[in-house]
């Protein structure tokens, strides 16, 4: 530790001799290293324990700094490459980058960048060297993130048709807790959009004074006005990503209020709203995310074809309605076995239409005609909601701009019994999966099983934390977090014979070796007074069934500050293109229970070596 450099930064604070905990924290921030308050407080307390006054002198501060910053595992690496044990010359750093970080191109210029960016001691920086202080700062920085830096920006081809992408999608976006009595909140929409979500669900019902409202029908969740939802979407749609947003309307409104909805969509969204086909795209395939940048698409039932709607564009069609066939008592996304009213209002016994018949979906439900207001229908261009009948039916009759919503229970049966047909279907048509209605607490299903067959919109309850949302967040870190990820070729190719259960010739096996070295400043256990935890790490692979794997480290007793494992784990992955890797840190409380401390999930192919 260069005494002069260190002193020059800290001595001013010690002009009165001693400092307290708050000043210690401020001084550590000045030294530009990531510190966790709980850990600093703990080390500080240990230092002042025997004293009457809770303050420390300069020597104490140096000791605290070293305890937290000078990690032995960094020292060991540093000493391997530093001839004099004090600094790394630029050629020594270059060697480190080649051997340890697997950098292949322009190591010399990367080394120089690192020195200029991270070396805090000016004289060392001038000599084009890196001190241990600089090395620690580099090793603790984003530049050493396990996530490939090239995947932090948009690097995939964005000119394929929409159905060739996985699309970040949310279910019941207006809820911020559970589905029965929880609040509906505009923040649900803003926060989903800020996380890069590109498909939002809006559950619309007739409200008083001819104002449509958004809430979870037949439940006690609160109501928000449709108008305010569209205003929030207008404001936040393109903050996190420039690529198109799809508004999936679950529409229970009368034609009169559907017209009000159409007026709001056009009036508030203006030019952002897609109201006609995109120039240059053949009317035989969906346009690309690139062609639809900064556009908002409406997904709803539609009367007739796109062409018929376009011809009406300049004609005032207020007051006109059309009819589409639908099954009795089911909205666009209900299935008889999946969406019974969860929380019937007291008068539902009088209103037969609230109840969904319990016939399984294969039995012919009675067909009824649903009235759709023409002004709303004509706003649907490339995302027309079409009831799913069967894979054969879709292949024979479905248009490229028609999309299906399939409930998780039914979709899971297809994955199990007709995966090849499912993959063939999703190579042609956008398919949205949604959670079953009986998940009253807004719990989620595992999205991986539906990504495995190429479903584009696997809708999750964004408001519900847990492994499922962690997989969603991890997958969509890829491609710059823009909410669109190009599907692997075998899920885009219409002649593909890929299935998740039998990957056959589509396997591109990869052997993965992970060395778990150490942890640093882990969140202390909530059950511990002494800032301790007994941490262990689980490393999990999510992917096609044969790639699913889970390995567990040993437990390090009572050390949340700097647990050290030095264990190696190996995995063989058959379909790396679909795999996610999840690191989960837990505190072992007893032989049967662990407390969750933190996790990080990312696509396997976004994992950096080094």
Instruction: Tally the residues of the chain.
Output: 610
The C-alpha atoms of residue 14 and residue 169 are separated, in whole angstroms, by 54
User: DSSP letter string over 112-159?
Assistant: HHHHHHH---HHHHHTTEEEHHHHHHHHTSGGG-SB-GGGGS--S---
On whether the CB atoms of residues 450 and 406 are closer than 8 A, the answer is no
Cβ partners under 8 Å of residue 79, min gap 6:
85
The C-alpha atoms of residue 432 and residue 383 are separated, in whole angstroms, by 11
Catalytic residue among 151, 160, 171, 218: 171
Catalytic (active site) residue 417: no
Catalytic (active site) residue 151: no
The C-alpha atoms of residue 40 and residue 30 are separated, in whole angstroms, by 14
Catalytic residue among 39, 151, 160, 216: 216
Cβ partners under 8 Å of residue 497, min gap 6:
420, 504
Strand positions, DSSP E, 293-400:
296-299, 321-327, 367-373, 384-385
DSSP state of 321: E
The C-alpha atoms of residue 61 and residue 298 are separated, in whole angstroms, by 60
The C-alpha atoms of residue 456 and residue 453 are separated, in whole angstroms, by 9
| Tokens read off for 567 | 């264990």
Q: At CB < 8 A and 24+ separation, what contacts does 93-96 make?
A: 93/130
On whether the CB atoms of residues 475 and 603 are closer than 8 A, the answer is yes
For residue 302, which of 312, 315, 291, 314 has the smallest C-alpha distance?
312
| Catalytic positions | 171, 216
């Amino acid at each position: 530790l260069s005494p002069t450099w260190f002193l020059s930064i800290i001595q001013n604070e010690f002009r009165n001799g001693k400092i307290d905990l708050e000043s210690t924290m401020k001084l550590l921030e000045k030294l530009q290293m990531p510190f966790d308050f709980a850990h600093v407080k703990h080390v500080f307390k240990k230092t002042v324990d025997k004293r009457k006054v809770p303050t420390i002198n300069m020597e104490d501060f140096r000791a605290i700094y070293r305890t937290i910053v000078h990690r032995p595992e960094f020292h060991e690496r540093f000493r391997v490459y530093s001839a004099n044990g004090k600094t790394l010359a630029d050629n020594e750093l270059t060697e480190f980058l080649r051997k340890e970080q697997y950098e292949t191109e322009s190591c010399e210029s990367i080394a120089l960048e690192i020195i200029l960016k991270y070396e805090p001691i000016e004289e060392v920086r001038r000599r084009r060297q890196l001190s241990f202080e600089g090395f620690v700062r580099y090793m603790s920085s984003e530049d050493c993130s396990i996530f490939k830096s090239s995947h932090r920006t948009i690097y995939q081809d964005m000119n394929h048709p929409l159905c060739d992408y996985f699309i970040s999608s949310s279910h019941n976006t207006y809820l911020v807790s559970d589905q029965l009595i929880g609040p509906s909140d505009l923040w649900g929409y803003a926060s989903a959009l800020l996380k890069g979500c590109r498909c939002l669900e809006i559950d619309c019902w007739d409200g008083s004074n001819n104002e449509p409202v958004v809430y979870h029908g037949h439940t006690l969740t609160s109501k928000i006005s449709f108008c305010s939802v569209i205003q929030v979407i207008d404001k936040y749609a393109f903050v996190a990503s420039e690529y198109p947003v799809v508004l999936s309307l679950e529409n229970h409104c009368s034609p009169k209020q559907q017209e009000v909805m159409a007026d709001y969509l056009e009036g508030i969204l203006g030019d952002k709203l897609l109201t006609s086909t995109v120039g240059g795209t053949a009317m035989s395939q969906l346009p690309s995310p690139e062609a639809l940048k900064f556009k908002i698409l409406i997904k709803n039932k539609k009367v007739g074809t796109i062409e018929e709607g376009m011809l009406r564009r300049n004609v005032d069609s207020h007051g006109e309605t059309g009819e589409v066939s639908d099954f009795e008592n089911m909205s666009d996304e209900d299935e008889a076995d999946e969406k019974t009213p969860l929380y019937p209002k007291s008068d539902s016994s009088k209103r037969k239409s609230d109840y969904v018949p319990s016939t399984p979906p294969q039995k012919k439900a009675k067909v009824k005609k649903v009235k759709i207001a023409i002004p709303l229908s004509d706003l649907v261009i490339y995302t027309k909601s079409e009831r799913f009948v069967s894979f054969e039916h879709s292949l024979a009759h479905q248009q490229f701009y028609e999309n299906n919503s399939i409930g998780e229970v039914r979709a899971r049966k297809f994955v199990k019994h007709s995966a090849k047909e499912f993959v063939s279907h999703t190579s042609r048509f956008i398919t949205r999966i949604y959670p079953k209605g009986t998940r009253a607490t807004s719990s989620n299903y595992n999205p991986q099983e539906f990504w495995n067959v190429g479903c584009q919109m696997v809708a999750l309850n964004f408001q519900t934390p847990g492994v499922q949302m962690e997989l969603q967040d991890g997958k969509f870190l890829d491609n710059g977090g823009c909410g669109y990820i190009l599907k692997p070729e075998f899920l885009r190719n219409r002649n593909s014979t890929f299935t998740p259960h039998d990957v056959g010739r589509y396997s591109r096996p990869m052997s993965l070796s992970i060395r778990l070295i150490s942890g640093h400043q882990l969140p202390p256990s909530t059950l511990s007074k002494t800032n301790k935890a007994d941490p262990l790490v689980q490393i999990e692979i999510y992917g096609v069934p044969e790639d699913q794997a889970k390995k567990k480290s040993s437990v390090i007793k009572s050390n949340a500050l700097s647990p050290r494992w030095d264990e190696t784990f190996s995995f063989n992955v058959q379909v790396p293109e679909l795999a996610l890797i999840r690191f989960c840190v837990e505190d072992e409380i007893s032989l049967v229970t662990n407390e969750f401390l933190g996790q990080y999930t990312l696509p396997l192919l976004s994992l950096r070596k080094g």
